[in-house]
Amino acid sequence: MSAAQDVVQQFLDHLNAQRVDDGMDLLAEDVFYHNIPMEPMNGRESVRAFAHEFGMGSRLQVDWQLRAIASVGDVVLTERFDIFTAADGQRIAIPLMGSFRVKDGFITEWRDYFDLADLQGQLAAMQTTAASDNS
């Protein structure tokens, strides 16, 4: 395993262990993050805030299942199935491809490519179910 691939694997392992902040600490301070097709963001603390706002590791348990990983130089490509499970058992499951660039032991670029309509539909279904459970 390349050094870059090892950093990405550590990042995924931290998230899957619900240690989101430990994972975020592997991002460079000025990381470029783009959940394509959403708006990109810059900076570790912006990405950390986004992860916490989404509920990663708190409201939603993270289980990012790695299907394949490959690296060339400082670039690591992942095929994943990202699963987020709420306390009530509802879950979001998104197939995606990820691209990471690693320099000096930190992730400096992170892009995930996925179907936004699929994510939005699953989030809406989760909110509808939660609302009907509270009625």
- What is the pLDDT at residue 1? 74
Q: Give me the percent of the chain exceeding a pLDDT of 70.
A: 96
3-133: CATH architecture:
Roll (3.10)
Q: What are the structural domain ranges in the chain?
A: 3-133
- Per-residue tokens: 30: 């000025």
- Strands of 106-113's sheet, edge to edge? 41-42, 27-36, 106-113, 91-103, 75-86, 60-72
Give the DSSP H/E element, type plus range, for residue 44. helix 44-54
Summarised one tens digit per residue, pLDDT across range 49-66 is 999 999 998 999 999 999
Summarised one tens digit per residue, pLDDT across range 74-88 is 999 999 999 999 999
CA distance 78 to 40: 19
**φ/ψ (deg, to 5) at 122:** -70, -40
